[in-house]
Amino acid sequence: MTFESTIIVHGGARTVNTDDRDLFQDGVKAAARQGYTVLTRGGSAVDAVVAAVSAMEDDSTLNAGHGSRLTMRGEVEVDAIVIDGQTLDSGAVCALRGCANPVQLARLVMDKLATERTRAELQQHFEMSSSERSASIPQQVCDTVGAVAMDAYGNLAAATSTGGITAKLPGRVGDSPIIGSGAYADNTVGAVSTTGQGEFIMKVCLARRVGELLEKGWNCRNRN
């Protein structure tokens, strides 16, 4: 059976100024196109969400990767997670410094864990020092970014990436890299990527909670 390839992305729940709205929408749409292209070329749902989130990490207007907010020390620390709905495998990274695409590192953690080869690959992703990135970060940025996808085989995946809240304490880890809070995916249930105040999301394991509601027949189109 062939399924209709689908991807949904979000650039965060934060209110965006009217003057900046087009920039944010352009970034999110470009990420969706990039992820969908992966699907149409036979890529997996995991490939697609990583591609889409990577695109948003590369967009300095969004709060992930290059556009991440600064900690109280004026540094960048990023979190990310990837979940494979077919196998329930997952990978996550948190409080990373000098990392341009944390979602790709999370993918490596999921696929290969900590081998010598993986450590060499991880090092390649630390392309920019915190000082170099901090100098190019705009003052107005959006919130956590994420994506969910279904590939032609019906497999689901979810990914979430963030730079965290503005002026956070160094080492602070929010909901994004936490399985069941920042993201969740299960082929038998659905795929979820969350955004919002991490401390509150973690209290209820929001992504998994949504999954439980889907299992009970909850319709996303009718929240009542």
175 is in an annotated binding site: yes
173 is in an annotated binding site: yes
Q: What is the Cα–Cα distance from 184 to 190, expressed in whole angstroms?
A: 8
Q: Which residue has the tokens 């990420």?
A: 31
91 is in an annotated binding site: no
195 is in an annotated binding site: yes
CB half-sphere exposure, 201, CA atoms < 13 A: 25
Residues labelled catalytic? 144
Q: What is the Cα–Cα distance from 197 to 144, expressed in whole angstroms?
A: 10
Q: What is the Cα–Cα distance from 116 to 28, expressed in whole angstroms?
A: 35
Helix (H) / strand (E) containing 160: strand 156-162
Q: Of 46, 14, 18, 50, which is closest to residue 34 (Cα–Cα)? A: 50
67 is in an annotated binding site: no
172 is in an annotated binding site: yes
11 is in an annotated binding site: no
Taking CA atoms, 93 is separated from 9, 159, 197, in Å, by 20, 12, 19
Tokens describing residue 105: 């590192």
Annotated binding-site residue numbers: 172-175, 195-198
Annotated binding-site residue numbers for substrate: 172-175, 195-198
